[in-house]
Structure 1
Amino acid sequence: MENGHPAPVRQLRYSPAVGSSHGVEVLDFAALRRMDVRRHRVLPQRPDFHVLALIASGTGGHEADFGAYRLTEGSAVWIRPGMVHRWSDTDTCDGPLVLFRPGFLPGFTAAEAATPACWHLDRQRLDLALFAARHLAREHDAAVRTPHLASPALLSHLLAALLLRALPDAPARTDTAAAGHRSADVFRRYRAAVEEHFTDWHHVADYARALGYDVRTLTRATRAATGTGAKVFLDQRVLLEAKRLLAHTDLPVAGCARRLGFGDAAAFTTFFRRQAAVPPAAWRAAYAAAGGGA
């Protein structure tokens, strides 16, 4: 943040390299540095795709949705679509960056919702995850060089294997075991509906009516997937977007309220204060005083 104005957020669209239109692509930090000579990576950006990064060596820093993370050997980072993030210091980092489109692995929705932005793998888990990433990278390269060998299904399976190897145990195993279970499907539908309608629908009952479930069913399914109820999940999604608007736009509080579907600034302020313990204007001022996460 400079001179009291929010740093602009770059909107990143999924744009694969020529010949790599399979929904997934494998890079590394060295390639990121070569492509980004102007160091846009250190500025806030908001991708519309997933990025899974593994730190094989080196140290660095990363920020995602108001959380700051120190990267060391064994760190894993999962940037989800819509996250506002920046690589604050990755000049010495090495390791794979796997980019993939939303929906490429729809069965991992619950794992995605429960997994933090950054976690740590021990040496054995890291070695196995890096092996899985290399396998995916080789198949991806083969698909690009020899199109008739390309198999999106194979790439999808290899990406699933990498995620199962890299993700913290509980979310990945729970979601995989429940892939065909009704509860997992209910949460998957609820989460998709929240992403589509959270600026208009602020009550779980709205989603229950639209999806054909009762509120208790949505609550049970959401708690099984994320550990929190459906109302908390919804409120946290609205709060996250509110913080993004306050931190990264010049919109006044009333403008943020309108963007998020509140009837007036007072209703938005009441909601924000209840969730964050401070009113939105005070939160914005504190974020700016702290350097905007820099």
Structure 2
Amino acid sequence: MPHRTRSIDIEQVQYRPSADTALDLEVFSMSDLRRRVDRAHLQRHHRYDFHMFVCVRRGKCRAVVDFSHIECGAGSLLTIRPGQVHRFGPGSRWDANLLLFRPELLQTSQGEERLQMPELVDALPAHLCLDRSTRRFVADTLARMEYECALDARQPLLNWLLQSELATLVTRLHIFHAEQQRSVGTSSDVPERFRLFKRLLDAKVHQWHHVSRYAHAMGCSEKTLTRICSAVAGVGAKAFIASRLALEAKRLLVHTEMPISAIAQRLGFDEATNFTKFFRSIEGCTPGDFRRQFDVVS
């Protein structure tokens, strides 16, 4: 008789600052977080509605972000974006500074240069190994932010101050990442149209499956969008859309108990059989087989 299984649930986590003032940014250590929550909570899968930077100070942080296993040593920066599924691995002998901030903090400041902050954050890789000077700069900036969060000042003033600090931090990280890429002979200049394509894809992946829909929304031809996507991501727009759609399917298969037919409907497929055919073409197995790979014994 086959054993019963259950799927791992995603815990949706909204931004709730611990301080009395409702600031859009918070800084604390991993040690502080361990004192706030139990170990089981830390090892559950979470999906945040905010950004999180994890700057590892000592030891090794092991994490899973959207099915990718990432190991970060001291001096590394892990970036987790809203909507991604994340889990910290086991182990308590590592520590890090955690920076949490709402996406709105990147968008509300005035000045043309600040309007690029969402794009700069989006261009950062999931894992950065910082050099000594950048590591020191990040540590000093986070310490200053933590101090400023506790200042006795009006909320709008504090948010503006923290927003300025965040813009400086993100810009410095972006410059460091660009220098790293130049050292290995690659370009960090991501075309604006590709960034727009990614934002549209995140918003419309459940509804739009064809290159033509995105090209029309962006005011360009399918050939132009495919050429941009190939230059930046190494694959055409059609394959990029399929990969993003498959990622959302895997999230729902592994982290929810939704029936496959309901997942198909949620992802915009008119028939579950069409969803199964699509998923098999991308992952090499059926949605049911993929789900069973991640099932655990009850």
**Equivalents in 1 of 2:189, 2:118: separation in Å?**
11
**SS of the residue aligned with 1:95?**
strand
Matching of residue 156 in structure 1 with residue 163 in structure 2: yes
Structure 1 gap segments, 5+ residues each: none
Q: Which residue number corresponds to residue 134 of structure 2?
A: 125
Q: Which residue number corresponds to residue 112 of structure 2?
A: none
Q: Which residue number corresponds to residue 28 of structure 1?
A: 29
Q: Which residue number corresponds to residue 8 of structure 2?
A: 7
Q: Which residue number corresponds to residue 258 of structure 1?
A: 265
Matching of residue 278 in structure 1 with residue 285 in structure 2: yes
1:230 Cα deviation from its structure 2 partner: 3.0
**SS of the residue aligned with 1:150?**
helix
**Equivalents in 2 of 1:86, 1:156: separation in Å?**
27
1:100 Cα deviation from its structure 2 partner: 1.0
Letter of the structure 2 residue corresponding to residue 280 of structure 1: P
What TM-score comes out, normalization by structure 1 length?
Answer: 0.82
**Equivalents in 2 of 1:222, 1:22: separation in Å?**
37
Matching of residue 189 in structure 1 with residue 190 in structure 2: no
**Equivalents in 2 of 1:118, 1:284: separation in Å?**
27
**Equivalents in 2 of 1:36, 1:172: separation in Å?**
36
Q: Cα RMSD over matched residues?
A: 3.0
Whether the 8 Å contact between 1:111 and 1:171 is mirrored in structure 2 is no
Whether the 8 Å contact between 2:21 and 2:155 is mirrored in structure 1 is no
Structure 2 gap segments, 5+ residues each: 108-115, 183-187
Q: Which residue number corresponds to residue 48 of structure 1?
A: 49
- 1:59-79 deviation per Cα after TM superposition (whole angstroms, max 9, x unaligned): 332111112223321222111
**Equivalents in 1 of 2:244, 2:24: separation in Å?**
26
1:222 Cα deviation from its structure 2 partner: 4.1
**Equivalents in 2 of 1:112, 1:225: separation in Å?**
17
**How do 1:93-172 and structure 2 match up within 5 A?**
93-105=94-106, 107-142=116-151, 145-147=152-154, 150-166=157-173, 169-170=177-178
- Report which stretch shifted further, 164-173 or 7-16: 164-173
Whether the 8 Å contact between 2:60 and 2:71 is mirrored in structure 1 is yes
- Report which stretch shifted further, 219-228 or 48-57: 219-228
- Report which stretch shifted further, 192-201 or 103-112: 103-112
**Equivalents in 2 of 1:148, 1:274: separation in Å?**
51
- 1:58-112 deviation per Cα after TM superposition (whole angstroms, max 9, x unaligned): 2332111112223321222111111111112352222211111124335244455
**Equivalents in 2 of 1:285, 1:56: separation in Å?**
37
1:234 Cα deviation from its structure 2 partner: 1.9
- Report which stretch shifted further, 253-262 or 109-118: 109-118
**SS of the residue aligned with 2:89?**
strand
1:171 Cα deviation from its structure 2 partner: 9.3
- 1:243-282 deviation per Cα after TM superposition (whole angstroms, max 9, x unaligned): 0011111223222211111121221122212222222222
Alpha carbons of 1:97 and 1:139: their partners in 2 closer, same or farther (altered >3 Å)? Answer: same
What TM-score comes out, normalization by structure 2 length?
Answer: 0.81
Alpha carbons of 1:252 and 1:162: their partners in 2 closer, same or farther (altered >3 Å)? Answer: same
Q: Which residue number corresponds to residue 73 of structure 1?
A: 74
- Report which stretch shifted further, 148-157 or 14-23: 148-157
1:5 Cα deviation from its structure 2 partner: 0.6
Q: Which residue number corresponds to residue 213 of structure 1?
A: 220
Whether the 8 Å contact between 2:56 and 2:97 is mirrored in structure 1 is yes
**Equivalents in 1 of 2:277, 2:124: separation in Å?**
29
Whether the 8 Å contact between 2:51 and 2:80 is mirrored in structure 1 is yes
State percent identity of aligned pairs: 32
Letter of the structure 2 residue corresponding to residue 30 of structure 1: S
1:169 Cα deviation from its structure 2 partner: 1.3
Whether the 8 Å contact between 1:257 and 1:265 is mirrored in structure 2 is yes
**Equivalents in 2 of 1:194, 1:97: separation in Å?**
28
Letter of the structure 2 residue corresponding to residue 170 of structure 1: A
Whether the 8 Å contact between 2:78 and 2:127 is mirrored in structure 1 is yes
**Equivalents in 1 of 2:194, 2:286: separation in Å?**
31
Whether the 8 Å contact between 1:200 and 1:261 is mirrored in structure 2 is yes
Aligned residue pair count: 281
Q: Which residue number corresponds to residue 85 of structure 2?
A: 84
1:30 Cα deviation from its structure 2 partner: 1.6
